[in-house]
Amino acid sequence: MLRSTLLKLSEHKGFAKWVTSNGTTRGMARRFVAGETLDDAIAAARACNDAGMLVTLDYLGENVATTADAQRSRDAYLEMYERIAKEKLHANVSCKLTQLGLNLNTDFCQGLVMSIVEFAAHYDSFLRVDMEGSLYTQRTIDIVKNVRVRNPAVGTVIQSYLYRSETDVADLLAYGCRIRLCKGAYKELPEVAYPEKRDVDNNYVHLMQILLSSGFYHAIATHDPRMIAATIRHAAAQRISKDDFEFQMLYGIRADLQRRLVRDGYRVRIYIPYGTDWFPYFMRRLAERPANLGFLIRNFFQR
Ligand SMILES: Cc1cc2nc3c(=O)[nH]c(=O)nc-3n(C[C@H](O)[C@H](O)[C@H](O)COP(=O)(O)OP(=O)(O)OC[C@H]3O[C@@H](n4cnc5c(N)ncnc54)[C@H](O)[C@@H]3O)c2cc1C
């Protein structure tokens, strides 16, 4: 119920204005967001690399209003690859397609993705296309497949809460696509997504097993110790090497677990978001852990 309210509030303009201008909530957001500039993200990436972790950088933003905004986002992504190379960081990049105009024009968006992937390949790097709400799932998969047949430096994300995900995994694997598996962070209807956490988790384990046994390099993105233990067990039982997959976690969440996995010899990549447009990302992080949040909502309604 609280998760659903928080995800609904993530679309509320008045709430967004209050959250982004309030000192306390800005401070809270800094736990999950490296800062507002690329320099902030680079510093956070350096700290992760120094601690033995890989990184994926994300320039925050979604649902742009104009194609010019989408082109500016594309330029920010190109700059990221240049900086990553210049700073000799072990990092790649993640992006959201509605930040690159998917909500405006699919062909236009695909063109921007193609140009970013070509740039990524030039730097011997990779672009991970994040998965957004289910309204965009098919178009995201289509774009990733279309781009991938021309350049393999692209992969995407599958969400275990969607009923369709096993079919999508098979479709993407037929293209040799690298997949990040996550549970899913958006507000979805029971017509398209499992409402019960138990079913989301069971599907996560099922999909994880398909991915790890596929022979391609995939990413298991979760902070859930049970999902991580299931992954480690499956890899050991199937004799899948620790170098043949990676765990991924979000910046600011379960640093203890991140360190433990590195210590145990697993590859761990941290998703580091930065930028000024952090409100929806922050709200999704709060929705994942609503227990801490009563005070935020109380403060808003008591203004
Ligand atoms: C690298 C990465 C990339 C992602 N990319 C996408 C994407 O493209 N599309 C998408 O829909 N979702 C994405 N997600 C989010 C994901 O779908 C989940 O919403 C999120 O990871 C929480 O699920 P969980 O697997 O950690 O399990 P949960 O069962 O939600 O959490 C397990 C435990 O992790 C800790 N935890 C989880 N979230 C938080 C939090 N916000 N604050 C504090 N503690 C927390 C708690 O200890 C919790 O008990 C991504 C997640 C990661 C790690």
Q: Which atom of ligand 1 is nearest to the CA of 223?
A: 26
Task: Determine whether 130 is an active site residue.
Answer: yes
What radius of gyration do the chain's Cα atoms show?
18
Residue identifier of the C-alpha nearest atom 34 of ligand 1: 223
Ligand 1 pocket at CB < 6 A: 130-131, 157, 159, 182-186, 221-224, 227, 248-250, 253-254, 271, 285, 288-289
Give the Cα separation of 269 and 178 in Å (integer): 15
Catalytic residue (one of 58, 74, 128, 130)? 130
Q: Which atom of ligand 1 is nearest to the CA of 182?
A: 17
| Per-residue pLDDT at 5 | 80
Among 157, 87, 77, which Cα is nearest to 120's?
Answer: 77
Residue identifier of the C-alpha nearest atom 31 of ligand 1: 224
Place of tokens 């507002």: 36
Residue identifier of the C-alpha nearest atom 50 of ligand 1: 182
* pLDDT tens profile 2-56: 778 878 878 887 888 888 888 888 888 888 999 999 999 999 999 999 999 999 9
CA angle 100, 285, 198 (to 5 degrees): 110
* pTM, entire model: 0.95
| Per-residue pLDDT at 294 | 62
Give the Cα separation of 278 and 63 in Å (integer): 13
Supply φ then ψ for residue 271, to 5 degrees. Answer: -85, 115
| Per-residue pLDDT at 140 | 98
Place of tokens 């990049």: 93
- Per-run averaged pLDDT (10 residues), the chain, 303 residues: 79 82 85 95 98 98 96 98 98 98 97 98 98 98 98 98 98 97 96 97 98 97 98 98 98 95 98 94 86 61 55
Q: How far is the CA of 93 from the centre of ligand 1 (A)?
A: 18
3-state helix, strand, coil in the chain (%, to 5): 55, 15, 30
**Exposed / middle / buried, residue 200 (Cβ in 10 Å: 0-12, 13-18, 19+):** middle
Catalytic residue (one of 128, 180, 284, 285)? 180
